Amino acid sequence: MLMKIFRSPSRRRGFTLIELLIAMAITTIIATVMISVTAIAIDSWNRSRAELRAARQAKFMVDVLTKDFESLVTRRGNKFEWLSAKTAKVLPGSNRQTSANASKLIFFTTATDRYEGKINTPDDKGGDVSCVAYDLQYKDPIDGGNTDFATFTLNRLLINPDKAFEDLLGQTELETAFEAYSTQMVALKNFVCENIYQYSITFHVEVTKDAGTDKATKLNVPISLGPTAGSGRVTEFSILGSGIALSESPNPNVTVDELKAGRVSAVEVSLTVISDFGMQQLRSKASLMGDAMTKFMAKNSFQYSKLVELPCL
Question: pLDDT tens digit string along 55-110?
Answer: 888 888 888 999 999 999 999 889 999 999 999 888 998 877 889 899 999 999 99
% pLDDT > 70, the chain: 91
**CA–CA gap between residue 117 and residue 71 (Å, rounded):** 15
> Which pLDDT belongs to residue 163?
92
- Beta carbons of 310 and 69 less than 8 angstroms apart: yes
Question: pLDDT tens digit string along 256-307?
Answer: 888 888 899 999 999 999 888 888 888 877 777 888 888 888 888 888 899 9
Strands 103-109 and 263-274 come out as unpaired
> Which pLDDT belongs to residue 19?
79
* Average pLDDT value over all residues in the chain: 85
> Which pLDDT belongs to residue 167?
94
Question: pLDDT tens digit string along 34-46?
Answer: 888 887 777 777 6
> Which pLDDT belongs to residue 135?
93
What is the pTM (predicted TM-score) of this model? 0.81
